[in-house]
Amino acid sequence: MTNELANPWRNLGGGSFVLASNAARALVNIGLVVGSERALVVDTGAGPRHATEILAAVRTLTALPLVIANTHAHWDHFFGNAVFRAEGALNEAGTQFWAHAATARGMAETGESQRAEVAGLEPEMAAGLGPQTEIVLPTHLIRRAPVVLDLGEVSVELFCLGRGHTNGDLMVGAPGVLFAGDVLEEGAEPQFEGSFPKEWAAVLRKLGAMDAMYPLMVPGHGQPVNAAFAAELANTVKAGPGA
């Protein structure tokens, strides 16, 4: 891969940034929230090649220890975990990987079978050969109760609003910004495989009522949106695939 992800960060304010996905490569948006003591990265990409580029871009903004949040158990959101685990091995605390408990189960149960999805993008990851191609699972789990992480002068809230795009969609709430993973999709149709459309629509309606807390919402793919977009997307999702 080329180093085309060198530093295309968009500053969202309040210590939050997004590394925009490349539609041609179908790669995920990467979130970053920077505190005074550590920084949180939202999702890690499609494998070691992609994650190495993401990590290099992160290091253009901060040298702080990193915490990882995986929004759900699809390959483009967690196949880069091993690269970030190796980075965390350079400090005593290591790297914390946060996800919903259902996502952790999904990673464990389907991670190996998802390798075939990245044969073109990440041949080493697809084959499970070479450095940092392991399926790295979360070390810290979200269940029913939200968890607040203090990054130093900036806090983020990790929470789940219910089943939707998957059965374990993790939301990452930062000051004025919500990283919503693939619960929100901008510029393309929602991906319904393995989803729960009626419950997903209910989650989107909840997001639609969060405009005061989160004026800006970052989807898993596409441009940042607002709560009104989430409310409108609820109608599309409720209708189901092919509507």
Mean pLDDT, the chain cut into blocks of 10 residues (243 residues total): 59 96 69 98 96 94 97 97 91 87 98 97 96 97 97 98 97 99 92 92 98 98 96 89 62
Task: Pinpoint the alpha helices (H) of 93-226.
Answer: 101-114, 123-127, 197-208
The predicted pLDDT at position 238 comes to: 84
Q: In what order do the strands lie in the sheet with 66-69?
A: 9-13, 16-19, 30-34, 39-42, 66-69, 96-100, 140-142
Q: DSSP letter at 239?
A: H
The predicted pLDDT at position 92 comes to: 67
Among 99, 61, 44, smallest CA distance to 220 is for 44
Q: What's the predicted TM-score (pTM) here?
A: 0.94
Quick one: 9-239 is in which CATH superfamily? Ribonuclease Z/Hydroxyacylglutathione hydrolase-like (3.60.15.10)
Q: Where are the beta strands (DSSP E) in 59-162?
A: 66-69, 96-100, 140-142, 147-150, 155-159
The predicted pLDDT at position 7 comes to: 56
The predicted pLDDT at position 196 comes to: 93
What's the pLDDT tens digit per position in 191-241?
898 999 999 999 999 999 999 999 999 999 999 999 999 999 999 998 777
* Cα–Cα dist 112/114, whole Å: 5
**3-class SS at 237?**
helix
Token pair listed for 243: 């509507």
The predicted pLDDT at position 176 comes to: 99
The predicted pLDDT at position 4 comes to: 45
